[in-house]
């Protein structure tokens, strides 16, 4: 299973990637895959050497709306896993990147964002995302760095998570929690993004 998931996630063609993920959803692939993960009922029991495989399976599941519905059945565990993957000294590209992708997709889901935002608040995961975002914003990426594209994408993943939550969450409790996490300062940093594109627009909307 891990080899199959790895092969799909290494695809460069995004359209083909999405089509295969859709086929996985329709074939019922994710039900046994996610069940294997949740059988432990305790995220802390997942071994470190399995972080990559688990993060990649969750990422692949999250890239389609029907896969998101599957993850929504296990939100508490999924958010806890994302926290573990982001908090630990894990590989940025193989573990943190897919974990951030899962959180971005969950917070982009209209039917899921309120629930996931409360789990984020309960686990104080927002501050973890902000820490990763600040590191990404401070990182100087050379134009010749072979990982430049992935590093910039990871930065944008964390920006997207923050903007999804600050722009779309309706819960006053979660909003107060984010304000208490110094989110205004972070939004101002995003607002001055030199690209003057979607991050700037999103930050301006969130501050309004």
**pLDDT value at position 104?**
96
Average pLDDT of span 67-82: 88
Instruction: Report the first-to-last Cα separation within the chain, whole angstroms.
Output: 46
Taking only the tens place, the pLDDT of each residue in 102-153 is: 999 999 999 999 999 999 999 999 999 999 999 999 988 888 889 898 899 9
With 70 as the cut, is the pLDDT of residue 89 above it? yes
Distance CA 4, CA 20 (A): 11
- Phi and psi torsions of 112, nearest 5°: -120, -25
Distance CA 22, CA 101 (A): 17
- Give the range among 9-23, 54-68, 109-123 with minimum mean pLDDT: 9-23
**pLDDT value at position 207?**
85
DSSP string over 6-61: HHHHT-S-HHHHHHHHHHHHHHTTHHHHHHHHHTTS-GGGS-GGGHHHHHHHHHHH
| pTM for the model | 0.83
The domains of the chain, with CATH numbers, are 2-207 (1.25.10.10)
**pLDDT value at position 40?**
57
**pLDDT value at position 155?**
94
Would you state the torsion angle of the CA atoms of residues 152, 135, 166, 202, taken in this order, to the nearest 10 degrees? -40
HSE, side-chain direction, 13 A CA sphere, residue 85: 31
Distance CA 171, CA 96 (A): 27
Confidence of residue 53 (pLDDT cuts 50, 70, 90): confident
**pLDDT value at position 88?**
79
């Amino acid at each position: 299973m891990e080899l199959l998931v790895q092969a799909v996630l290494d695809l460069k063609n995004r359209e083909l990637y999405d089509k295969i993920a859709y086929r996985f959803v329709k074939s019922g692939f994710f039900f046994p895959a996610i069940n294997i993960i949740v059988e432990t009922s305790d995220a802390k029991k997942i071994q470190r050497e399995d972080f990559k495989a688990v993060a990649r399976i969750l990422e692949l599941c999250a890239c389609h709306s029907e896969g998101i519905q599957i993850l929504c059945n296990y939100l508490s565990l999924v958010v806890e896993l994302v926290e573990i993957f982001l908090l630990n000294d894990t590989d940025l590209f193989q573990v943190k990147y897919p974990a951030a992708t899962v959180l971005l997709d969950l917070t982009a889901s209209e039917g899921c964002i309120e629930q996931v935002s409360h789990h984020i608040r309960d686990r104080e995961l927002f501050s973890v995302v902000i820490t990763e975002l600040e590191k990404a914003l401070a990182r100087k990426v050379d134009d010749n760095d072979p990982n430049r594209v992935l590093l910039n994408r990871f930065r944008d993943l964390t920006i997207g998570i923050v903007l999804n939550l600050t722009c779309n969450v309706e819960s006053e409790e979660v909003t107060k929690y984010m304000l208490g996490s110094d989110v205004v300062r972070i939004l101002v940093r995003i607002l001055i993004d030199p690209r003057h594109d979607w991050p700037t627009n999103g930050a301006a909307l969130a501050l309004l």
